[in-house]
Amino acid sequence: DCNDPHVAAGLLKQFLRELPDPIFTYDMYENFVQRIVRRDPIALAWRPSNPQYSLTHTHSLNSGAMASPKDHDVWVPTMRTLFRTLPRTNFLVIKRLVLLMTEVAAESETNKMTPSNLAIVFAPNMIKSRNEDLLTIMQDTPFINSFLRKVIESYHEVFDD
């Protein structure tokens, strides 16, 4: 059925998953995950290796809470800079994809696709390490999801010129 949004979403995920280099390139993975996401005070609080980590914190991580307005004021310009270090084509595709996700999330009352849900669905196909080690994937997934959720929520701040 050509009008089924699940088919379109599945095709988009498959396209992103099968790219030879992810849309957030392998080379950029360390910049996005190691230097930014893992230093995010919100993400660090819920890192599985943190002794304070628990499943109850996962809800707070996915709920969109920011550590403070000051953290957000630093995060946005950092993201603007990092996004512009991507190859131009990748940047433009990411910008368009995140705009689409923002528009879908605006209808979350109807479609249940909040920024957090969209990040859970799309982040693993967009942001990947060359290291396919299961432990690394499991450790990085909450950070990657949190990162994409914040990008979706901050679309206009990050991408508008």
Please tell me the distance from the alpha carbon of residue 17 to that of residue 80, in angstroms, as a whole number.
24
Helix (H, G, I), strand (E, B) or coil at 135: helix
Any idea what the Cα angle at residue 120 is, between residues 118 and 126, rounded to 5°?
A: 85
Convert the pLDDT of each residue in 36-78 to its tens digit: 555 555 444 444 444 443 333 333 344 444 455 567 788 888 8
Residue type, 5: P
Q: Which of 160, 154, 140 is nearest to 24 (CA)?
A: 140
Residue 138 has pLDDT above 80, yes or no: yes
pLDDT value of position 161: 77
